[in-house]
Amino acid sequence: MVTNSTMKAAVVAGPQQFEIQDIPVPALEPGGVLVRVRNCGICGSDLHFYRGEFPSAPGMRLGHEISGEVAAVGEGVTGLSEGQPVAIEPVEVCRNCDFCRTGRPQLCANRKLLGTVIPGALAEYVQVPSYLVHPLPEAVDFEVGALVEPLAVAVHGLRLVSLSVGERVAILGSGTIGLMAVVAARAMGASSVFTTARHQHQADAAMALGATQVIEANEGAVEALTAAFADRSPEVVVETVGGSANTINEAITLVASGGRVSILGIFTGPVTMNATAAVLKEAQLVGSMTYGRPGPRSDYEVALEVAAAQADDLRSLITHRVSLADVESSYAIAADKSQKSIKVTVQVG
């Protein structure tokens, strides 16, 4: 139950600056759910807005890795009740176009990601359509619930390239998405999972999550990975670095002939690609955009199942917990890898 008409919210006040404001609690709409936010993770894409690398409008509210509890349900909403712990799938779509009707809502031309063009969860409450609200399994608390979103990104990327039981996987990068890809690949039956990592704390986390071997992310990483795989190259390579890295070419070099590359990283500009090598290998390069419903179960539903089975492993990725009042310091920590951060979560409620 909501007893206040206003709530605390953190809004972007400029590059690397936030302002805590008192703003109205969102109005509950028909078919909507008002969620009291408990945890909101900081995503790598959020840091681009934080640094001023992506444009942000005055008063923008970040935050799309969300868990909380149902505060109120709107007219016509069934299956959800006040006080119920939930995770939020943060992409609003039209639900009427061909993409939405065929299980690919992530490609909807009218998609809107919370924390970008619509207000995100760095606030005490957020209002979303009921189709985005997922009840949390009993084994998943609010901290792990906020990790379901990045886990769903990894699940989607691996489902797009049809990872099969027994296949070998190489993951480029051990940030949050790379580490989530380790969890997802193991859960989906990969026989071995090799990763690269720039920092020792990332390498340690990858090994704790079940990576077979971690290679230092340097100029010799491709050669070292190739040697680690010996005479059998990986059928699947997952690119999670993005930025301006040369990782797409590295993935093409690594992947087996006839193999598949899933591209999860967000690139900040055009990059060159060795198309000849991709052609000669008949390598499939697949871009991956958030998550969807490629079958009877959505990527989010699969991620929730994995989270319930590996809740303790996922919780171990949370290196820093910061309150909403200290949100500016939480983003500074997330942006500074010398702080040995992996996942920084803002504890809102």
Beta bridge partners of residue 346, listed in sequence order: 40, 322
What does the pLDDT read at residue 43? 93
Final residue belonging to a domain, choices 266, 287, 308: 287
Q: Are residues 68 and 143 in the same domain?
A: yes
- The first and second tokens of residue 53, run together, are 């690398």
pLDDT, residue 295, reads: 87
CB neighbours (10 Å) of residue 90? Answer: 23
**CATH code at position 180:** 3.40.50.720
171 and 231 inside one domain: yes
Domain shared by 197 and 282, yes or no? yes
Please report the pLDDT score of residue 199 as a whole number: 95
Q: What is the pLDDT of residue 48?
A: 84
Specify if 182 maps to a domain.
yes
CA distance linking residue 68 with residue 146, whole number of Å:
8
Residues 15 and 141 placed together within one structural domain of the fold: yes
The string of pLDDT tens digits covering residues 25-55 is 999 999 999 999 999 999 988 998 888 888 8
Task: Quote the number of domains for the chain.
Answer: 2
CATH number of the domain that residue 343 is part of: 3.90.180.10
pLDDT of res. 3:
76
Residues (pLDDT < 50) of the chain are none
Q: Is the pTM value of this prediction over 0.85?
A: yes
In this prediction, residue 125 carries a pLDDT of 98
Question: Do 19 and 129 belong together in one domain?
Answer: yes
H or E stretch including 160?
Answer: helix 148-160
Point out the domain boundary residue: 287, 306, 327. 287
Distance CA(308)–CA(306), nearest Å, equals 5
Q: How confident is the model at residue 132, as a pLDDT?
A: 97
Q: What is the pLDDT, as a whole number, of residue 189?
A: 97
Range of the domain at 261: 151-287
Q: What pLDDT score does 160 carry? A: 97
Task: Say yes or no: 137 and 158 in one domain.
Answer: no
Is 229 part of a structural domain of the chain?
yes
